[in-house]
Amino acid sequence: MIRPNQQSDFDSILSLAEVSGLFEPDQTAILEELLRHPDPEDVWFVDEADDGLVGVAYMAPEKMTDGTWNLYWIAIDPRYQRQGRGKAMLANVQTWLTAKEARILLVETSATEDFDYVRMFYAANGFEEEARIRGFYAAGVDKVVYWKQLPSKAEFDGDQSRNEITE
């Protein structure tokens, strides 16, 4: 079940970030700071299974833009990957953003081989590689930015195949 996060989810989100393997220890500390002192515009969703939280998504609007958002993190517990949970979380994010009349969703990731599956995931879900910044994360480690145009609210409302929004 995908739902907005609650303060009681913080420790589970941090544990999930660690087990996902997507975050370095210093990044987990940043994540903890973001959870403890959120920007009022930050949006977090979690995916809950019988045994606790198994997924998290974190996004925020891009400052000084009209309807551009950044999806900073999607992480799914490795035990629950390849079950459609990441795709469902991404669909929930896009549905929520469309209802808020967002226009563009950006995602950034690493260009390293161990992130090949992440880049394939976004490409398979309609994202296009928009930019590559050489040596961004470290020497030889590029940042890849993916871009997706979100449907207008009118287009979205006319598509009966969409899921309900998780508020």
The residue type of 7 is Q
- Mean of the per-residue pLDDT values of the chain: 89
* Cα–Cα distance measured from residue 165 to residue 163, given in angstroms and rounded to the nearest whole number: 6
Is the distance from CB of 107 to CB of 68 less than 8 angstroms? no
pTM of the model: 0.86
DSSP string, 53-102: EEEEEEEEEPTTSSSEEEEEEEEE-GGGTTSSHHHHHHHHHHHHHHHTT-
118-137 confidence digits (pLDDT tens): 999 999 999 999 999 999 99
Please report the pLDDT score of residue 74 as a whole number. Answer: 92
Please report the pLDDT score of residue 167 as a whole number. Answer: 46
* Cα–Cα distance measured from residue 36 to residue 51, given in angstroms and rounded to the nearest whole number: 24
Model confidence at 25, pLDDT cuts 50, 70, 90, reads confident
Please report the pLDDT score of residue 36 as a whole number. Answer: 84
